[in-house]
Amino acid sequence: MSRLPFGGGNSGVWGYLWQGAPSEALTYNALEWEASQGAPPVISEQGALQFDPAVASKAWSRAGRWIGTISPPEVTRDLEDDSLRQWTQGQAVFMRNWPYAYTESIRNGSKVRGRFGVSIMPAGDGADGRPADMLGGFQLMVDRKSIHKDAAIELIRFLTSPEIQRVNAQVRGYAPTIPAIFLDPAVLRANPFFRTLREVLVQGAITRPSTAAGEKYDAVSADYFSAVRRVLTGQQDAADDAQEFAGEVKRLMAH
């Protein structure tokens, strides 16, 4: 495939960076592609398969055409930090990543510092197209075997308090769970994109089927990102691969 001319003739600049390595990172990217086309969640809250092979194969195939044109060939090996490293070196016009990437992008040494903005993901084509952005998270848990369970619970209550969430949002760029913090003046001064991020969560936030799949989610996700990556790397036809994935998830959820 021929490469498109981005960056004013700069051959070191690509159009779009994302995460295509065989990992959970690819799962959330591909689920966003599908949701942007209007696809329902892969698994309903009741555990029923809702995966739409036609929409999925269209979304996967489209992403495959990005590789070598607007996205670098090595994107199928990239994780979040790989994308971020290329981005902060000024090697791309657009990047999909988590909110922490903003604070990393404004640090000293970043070639894009003061030269970029944050936007809602674009909608897919067709009548059902809409912006879709995957929810991430910074979970805190207590081991059920902990000998200091009560103290650990109190620590988590402290770390998830409004005061600490405000600090994490301001200093680290972590998305809070308290809506008002998004519009806190100090937070917005440090991270102006939080105003847009709040719109993202209200308008286009989607979730992975982790709750619906329960203990089977790891297997569902592994099957999913493996299927997507086979299409991205040209190992299998998108329509056939999507049908195979649908059958595999149906078997997983039935047992």
For residue range 61-77, what is the model confidence (pLDDT) as tens digits? 999 999 999 999 999 99
Read off the amino acid at residue 234. G
Task: Assign 224 to helix, strand or coil.
Answer: helix
Whether the predicted pLDDT of 238 surpasses 70? yes
Closest CA to 92 of 74, 103, 42: 74
Handedness of CA 74, 7, 129, 183 (dihedral sign): positive
Task: Assign 198 to helix, strand or coil.
Answer: helix
pTM for the complete prediction? 0.87
Q: What is the DSSP letter of 119?
A: -
Q: How confident is the model at residue 4 (pLDDT cuts 50, 70, 90)?
A: very low
- Both tokens assigned to 73: 């060939």
Contacts of 49 (CB under 8 A, 6+ apart): 42, 43, 246, 249, 250, 253
User: What stretch of H or E contains 34?
Assistant: helix 24-36
- Both tokens assigned to 159: 């770390």
Note the pLDDT tens digit of each residue in 67-114.
Answer: 999 999 999 999 999 999 999 999 999 999 998 899 899 999 999 999
Please state, in angstroms and rounded to a whole number, the distance separating the CA atoms of residues 58 and 181: 38
* Domains of the chain and any CATH numbers: 7-133+216-254 (3.40.190.10), 136-206 (no CATH)
Note the pLDDT tens digit of each residue in 114-159.
Answer: 999 988 888 888 778 888 888 877 788 899 899 999 999 999 999 9
Q: How confident is the model at residue 56 (pLDDT cuts 50, 70, 90)?
A: very high
Angle at 168 between CA 92 and CA 194, to 5 degrees: 50
Residue 47, phi then psi, degrees to nearest 5: 90, 10
Q: How confident is the model at residue 8 (pLDDT cuts 50, 70, 90)?
A: low
What is the widest separation between alpha-carbon atoms in the chain? 61
Please state, in angstroms and rounded to a whole number, the distance separating the CA atoms of residues 32 and 208: 10
What are the Cα distances from residue 244, in Å, to 8, 43, 156, 232?
43, 16, 42, 16
What are the Cα distances from residue 196, in Å, to 87, 102, 150?
20, 12, 38
